[in-house]
Amino acid sequence: MGGSLEQKWLTPKRAATLAILIAVFWFCLGYFACYLSYSGMRRDVQSLVAYSLELRKENEMHVAKWNTLEILTERGTRLSPDAARLLRETASSEYAAIEDSSQRRIRIEGVKSDITDGSPRSYANWKAALQELLSRGYLEHSTVRHVGGPYTATRYVLTKAGYQAAEAQ
């Protein structure tokens, strides 16, 4: 019965079976490595998609802020403090209208007192603020009415752009 133990145990049939088992092992190992790579790739893609959506939302927010700033500014200049105050108070009033009378008074409709203090300087300041809002398209002319004698009052109402600018402040 010659031959070594190795020769007796490793018959051609067993060698073929062993070769098949080794091939299956390497195939499974490769398949598992591909699965791990795929799941890692999948996580990476998911995180990239989430990051992309986050950047898109942030970009949309910046675009909205930029559009608001464009409404508030014209050629890079901000509203004067008086014009900004007049815009805010008009937007928050009941009628959202301003009345400019030939008696040198400017009044926000729905508010009981005049915005001017009665002096020519005050009227000139508020008239300039009114003209600033008109020139930017935040107000539009509505009506002219007689308020007694030779006096008239011109009424201006807020436009859509005026409301947007007031909300953005």
Q: Is 99 helix (H, G, I), strand (E, B) or coil?
A: strand
Q: What pLDDT is recorded for position 1? A: 47
Q: Which of the residues in the chain have pLDDT under 50?
A: 1, 74-76
**Tokens (6 digits) for 159:** 């436009």
Contact of 169 with 90, CB cutoff 8 Å: no
Q: For position 2, what pLDDT does the model report? A: 54
Residues contacting 78, CB < 8 A, separation 6+: 72, 84
